[in-house]
Amino acid sequence: MDITQIKDTFVKLQSDETKNHVQAALDEGLDPVEILQNGIIAGLKEVGKKFEEEEYFLAELMMAGKLGEACIEIITPHLPENAGTSKGVVVLGAVEGDLHDIGYSLVATQLKLAGYDVHMLGVNIPSMQFIEKAQDYNADIIGMSAFLVTTIPNCAEVVKYLVDMNIRDKFKVIIGGAETSQEKAVSMGCDGQADNAVEAVALCDRLLGHS
Ligand code: B1M
Per DSSP, the residues of 142-158 read EEEE--STTTTHHHHHH
Domain count of the chain?
2
Find the CATH number of the domain harbouring 168. 3.40.50.280
Give the Cα separation of 33 and 45 in Å (integer). 16
160 and 179 both lie in a single domain: yes
Give the Cα separation of 69 and 180 in Å (integer). 22
94 and 75 both lie in a single domain: no
Q: How many CB atoms lie within 10 A of CB 168?
A: 14
18 and 80 both lie in a single domain: yes
Ligand 1 atom with least separation from CA of 92: 91
52 and 117 both lie in a single domain: no
Q: What is the DSSP letter of 196?
A: S
Ligand 1 atom with least separation from CA of 106: 79
Instruction: Look at ligand 1, atom 25, and give the residue with the nearest C-alpha.
Output: 148
Instruction: Look at ligand 1, atom 64, and give the residue with the nearest C-alpha.
Output: 48
Q: Is 143 in the pocket of ligand 1 (CB under 6 A)?
A: yes
Q: What is the model's pLDDT at position 110? A: 86
203 and 125 both lie in a single domain: yes
Domain end position, chosen among 84, 103, 124: 84
114 and 79 both lie in a single domain: no
Tens of pLDDT, residue by residue over 4-62, are: 999 999 999 999 999 999 999 999 999 999 999 999 999 999 999 999 999 999 999 99
Q: Is 62 in the pocket of ligand 1 (CB under 6 A)?
A: yes
Domain extent at residue 98: 89-207
**Dihedral (Cα; 38, 82, 177, 42), 10-degree rounding:** 10
Q: Is 50 in the pocket of ligand 1 (CB under 6 A)?
A: no
Q: Is 145 in the pocket of ligand 1 (CB under 6 A)?
A: yes
21 and 74 both lie in a single domain: yes
Measured over the CA atoms of residue 118, residue 124, residue 128 and residue 132, the dihedral's sign is negative
Tens of pLDDT, residue by residue over 130-188, are: 999 999 999 999 999 999 999 999 999 999 999 999 999 999 999 999 889 999 999 99
Q: Is 59 in the pocket of ligand 1 (CB under 6 A)?
A: no
Domain end position, chosen among 31, 62, 84: 84
Structure pTM? 0.91
Q: How many CB atoms lie within 10 A of CB 115?
A: 18
Domain end position, chosen among 30, 59, 84: 84
Q: Is 46 in the pocket of ligand 1 (CB under 6 A)?
A: no
